[in-house]
Structure 1
Amino acid sequence: MSNHQSIEDLFSDDSNGAAGKETVQAKFKDKQQEVKIKEIERATKKKADNAGIPYINLVGFPISPEALALITEEEARGLSVVCFYYDGKQLRLAATRPDNPQVLSLAKELAAKYFCQEEVYLTSEYSLNYALNIYKSIPRPRLMEKGVKITEADLNKYSESFASFKDLQEQIGQIPVTEVVTMMMAAAVKTNSSDIHIEAEEKEIKVRFRIDGVLHDVASLDKSVWQKIISRMKLLAGVKINIIDKPQDGRLSIYLTNDRIDIRVSFLPTNFGESVVMRLLRSSAVGLEFDDLGIRGRAFQQLKREIERPNGMIITTGPTGSGKTTTLYAILKKLNQPEIKIITIEDPIEYQLKGVNQSQTTEKYTFAQGLRSIVRQDPDIIMVGEIRDLETAEMAIQAALTGHLVLSTIHTNDAAGTVPRFLSIGAKPFLLAPALNAMIGQRLVRRLCEKCKKEIAPDDDTLVKIRELLEKLPEEEKNKINLNKMKFYQSSGCQTCQGIGYKGRIGIYEVLTMNAELEKIILGGKVSEYDMRANGSKNGMITMVQDGLLKALDGITSAEEVFRVAE
């Protein structure tokens, strides 16, 4: 005899009494409701799959009040849509009718306002109502913007208050502690700094800005105010204030008219207190066109030809901060046409490119996994942020051999180190050789300040060194200069360049393209940088140092700067 009772048995069991019947009936109704909800969600997911759009079940999803508050409750209920995810880079909406033109228009409007990418998901009415109920828990006023807001008026006020770093030091000592962080950010924006370094020392706090790749001391803070300042930075960056013995990473944003500056903040415990580094990234900073990169002459024509091929690999090389990503973005901008589909996988997405599908790696979404998915999206051009391992290398090579143009970076010192690096991580020579189109070695040199630039005479040893390098130029280039009448320049520093002598940067390049002889060398399997460099020189390649010295002769930079970054 079975020990299990049917629903009917439960209802007819007098021993349960009226109260028992009500309890069982309530449980039964709950079970029916649960089954019904599951059926609704399955049907909604199937509908999304058939339509080729993403699906989301918001029940139990950790929706932040910040994301939800980007759309007012009235508008959310009117359009049956909610914002369930926002991290400053991506914004995701859930709607019962994701094809509603008003919903799509709202998504575009929010993406433009917050300088991020948008995506609209299909959700069920039950799921949407769950999210709408969360509005009750949001305190009014509900609208919250992530990050500190610096207006144009703030920037103008701070810009007018200092003309040099000396003035900045004086101003920092006179303003309230709560304004110090804002003033430092405004000063960094004004001077086009890429990083702010705030370092605890034994007796003071040192503030340094990285301008055009070089750190400069700009101010020092009294150690007595450090705790208040770092607490404010932690609040703004969204990290825990009470943790001082472990590294933490956060982020915030500065909102300007028609622009947004994303700031990544790193906190590191040191022996005298926490060290803080802020990396500033402008959403609209991708201003360089391919023609303006600074690649010249024959190298420019060669690279232009290679990037216009329908398949193969273009690899940029160089250390961190050498401008590799900027070069790839400039190439993508040149190739970006309505008839071309471009997909990227980056770590992280540094700048938004209109018309390009950009994705970002996570702990569970690697370059290799992303690349495997991207090739199923029917792209014409693929950009992979970096090739770090064999799996990614093999996927990139395979994509290049099967009709895609693949752009990526690899960490080597110069173009000649590209193939040896690929082989060292296990790439197969017989696949690599036909896949490669071009290898670009690059560095960034600082531009001389035009306001205080003047002609100088290098010392004899430097002149001998310069002549030896320029003597090795291809004849075509060497004939354009007079090695006995070379002019070089230097800048002494002025108010325009904050006394530095340099303002802005430009790339120096070497471009090594594939040829029959080089392919034969690679297929041999044992390739040295010397072999690659010798082949490049034989085929008219101008090295990075030579390119830099030619730019120095044009008064763009100094010979000293070229030797600093390229030797």
Structure 2
Amino acid sequence: MSTHRLGELLVREKLISLQQLRQAQEEQRRSGTKLGYALAKLGFVSDGEITNFLSSQYRVPAIDLSAIEIDDELAKLASREVCERHIIVPVARTGSAVTVAMADPTNLNAIDDIKFLTGFNVDVVVASEAAIFEAIERVYSAPESYETMLEDFDDEEVAFGLDEDDLNVHELEKEAGGAPVVRLVNAILLNAIQKGASDIHVEPYEKKLRVRYRVDGVLLPEMEPPIKLKNPLVSRLKIMSQMDIAERRLPQDGRIKLKMARGREMDFRVSVLPTSYG
């Protein structure tokens, strides 16, 4: 179904007005998204309404992608590029068949591609464009595990046991810009978003470093990086927040703007407070 046809049908079924359709089409042209995604983003029609409408039109089962967990093995059946190109995502496998959520179940090219890539028969369920893109983001942007990232740190390359007065700003900048530190900080931020955290606490103690998330008002432990990572990790956050990494005795405030897929942005307000241990 073309986006033009989808818009006409939604107007005919009185799910949206003609004016709303035109606004969504303008948003579609501006952002390069699909029409269904633009309609949901603008709040003109709910994701559930679009999904139920598509299910009725195509006479195929609907699926709530937010309620299912797509494991790594399923994700390997099709690349992110294939999923985004066809607006699909694999959701289950039973025997010689793979179930694929599609925004357009009449897209025979997509079905043929999945058959060719996997060697499986394809069972189709329908979901909205917005739900599929969110599922793709969730599945294919999963952060690398903390354990894997920490294996990349070289003990000789990370400052450990130095007095605060002895720290060299240029060395801190170098350490904070290293690939393992960058990946670790990115993972901490992305995991916080995925878990719906309202706050991230990076807490240095005398002999340990702790990261906690506040979820639903409760502070929950997330990880305990080695204490040797305290300075590079905090420095990385300061650099991202455009703070002065040389200033370690006064509170500082900053902001991180994280760019997500499909033009989305996430803002973090960052506050750094001096403590007894850094």
Tell me the TM-score normalised to structure 1 length.
0.20
More helix by percentage: 2
Q: Relative CO higher for 1 or 2, CA cutoff 8 Å, sep ≥ 6?
A: 2
